[in-house]
A = this chain, B = another copy of it.
Amino acid sequence: MKALKIIKIGGSIIDQPDALDDFLSEFSKLEGPKLLVHGGGKLATDLAEKLNVEVKLVDGRRITDINTLDIITMVYAGKVNKKIISKLQRNHCNSIGFTGADSNTIVSDKRPEKPVDFGYVGDIKHVNIETIQLLLKQHITPVFCAITHDGNGQLLNTNADTIASEIAIAFSELYNVELYYCFEKSGVLQNVENDNSVIKNIDKNSYAKLLGQNNIAAGMLPKLANAFHAINNQVHKVCIGKPEMLFNKNSKFTTIQN
């Protein structure tokens, strides 16, 4: 089967215009079918502050009320997604922006209000690959932001890592899917303070051990859960690290193994 690269970017790669430009320039040169998934970085929080929309948290996790959903939709699907698309076009990477509502690609259920009501947050139910596949065949690169819909007129804020893993799984029957989680660290670190302590390979046994040692950064846990979910569901390759892992053969990163 042909390879399909699915790349998720987040964190400071999106917040820093130069880092984003550099990434998009290298990304454009990647050969073969590819798909990009992005979060919104800190821009949504910045806009919420400017608009005096209070950020509500429960257990450190953000609640998506209707005003926050509006902000997220404007920043993710508008500002960030269209900036990425216009820059990819400049680099002659023909691309098209998506939310999960576009062409009904990602249908979610609004998360149940018990035990905690997170508001307009979606848990992915189904990925429809037909339109994406049609575009990939035309050498067009789909670029997804972290929004899905419930099929009944409601947009939903949805974790970008999960969107990437669910798209990867949905395509694993048609392609050897390679899933890359790109962020500002060089991978899963043995010691969070030391970017040189990258763990080269993690399988389910060493993952259980790491969890037992309470050694993994809290922000890394959902990423790892998504990574294992993908590798356990026919995704060919799952890697976590800096974007350099895609472009430079000598860079360090973490590979997830099942």
Contact = CB atoms under 8 A, between A and B. Distances in A.
Contact of A138 (B86, B131, B140): B131
Contacts of A79: 70, 73-74, 78
Interface string A112-151: 0000000000000000001100110010100000010101
Nearest to A70: B79
B89 A95 contact: no
Interface string A79-98: 10111011101100011111
Interface stretch (A100-108, A196-204, A216-224, A236-244): A100-108
A9 interface: no
A61 interface: no
Contacts of A147: 82
Number of copies: 2
A155 interface: yes
- 5 pairs of A and B residues whose beta carbons are closest in the complex: A78-B78, A74-B74, A90-B153, A74-B78, A86-B101
28 contacts: A47-B74, A50-B51, A70-B79, A73-B78, A73-B79, A74-B74, A74-B75, A75-B78, A77-B78, A77-B81, A77-B97, A82-B101, A82-B147, A82-B155, A83-B155, A85-B102, A85-B149, A86-B101, A86-B149, A89-B101, A90-B153, A94-B103, A95-B102, A96-B98, A96-B102, A96-B103, A97-B99, A103-B140
